[in-house]
Structure 1
């Protein structure tokens, strides 16, 4: 690859660790952008682009890639709005709530990037996604769960809420939470099937309930595939039982 070219779009997103839909993560073509002053990238297995004039190129793992924020703007032409929101949530959060390591970008960074791309392809989806990006999500599925809840007209939950006992001791970090009604939502991925994790989850569940909270557990099927409407009704019923007017 000449110095005038770099990885971009979803290829750059994967290099940065940005979560993408499974089908996109496993797609084989590489996205490569070139400076506008040189020819269009053409090679077998490559999707070629010309980079924007304001695109920042940086080195990551020894590879030339679009910066995280520019990459987010680039994939607006390829992803659905919800997937773009999940990518944005990752950029402004990373794993900072757990590790205290600063994320790759801030909400202000994304806002400036959206403003700079006014009138360009994908700007409508990018603008829509930006308004839905939040700090605090630690996984793509947590983001999609939040979006499902909000679009159903329910209150927006807090993300990765730290639950403490009466003495101030740590009890658990809940994926999504409605503290006013002491209702939590936990996404259960396949990692929770591991024996040791399964056993820890039992103890954790008891400790949460000891604080007067009720928790709704959801899986990918509940959010993406077969049961999203039933999932919303489960959440609504639980909130109503705790006094919420929803």
Structure 2
């Protein structure tokens, strides 16, 4: 009996070593796929460094008329537009601001334990029959091996019977749960908003630098910070996103 246990244990560890030897993104894809199967959820794994997302469709996708159950789709964006387009207009802005607030909290923290927290909120999403249903949304962030900051995001969408009444931060290690407070001024600083507004108005980095009496290099650094904070690819997308969120006119 001991010999059988030893052989089974050895075989198990060999299999696990093989799993963990796989590419990091592939391993996280297995996690996302497992959620979609076990919870019938829609699971989205996004690589924030390559700007790609893998969407795993559980059975609940049929209610939205989105994708086909037990299939996978890869898109060149970290914003899952097909899902976003089904969110009720009154909930879309709220959801984005909540996510950006949580992203800033984790990305600006130098404490590894911050990755133990996830964000949970609810939103109304339109089904294929035109009726709105409440969906629970959870987002987890992961750091990459040998990387600083956030490398991956995992978003999970599940049907839920009611609105949670707010967005909550939940600690997977302690069970602590606290309300997320959104401060739009913490998403972009007043200077960043001003610079983005000038970009929106067609001003170049040099023109902005002259107006603010700072160097062009400083303006360019602000531009990069804005792009990172809004999780977009360029300032054109940043202007569009900030305008939709009401951060600039």
The interval holding the TM-score normalised by the smaller chain is under 0.3
Give the structure-2-normalised TM-score.
Answer: 0.26
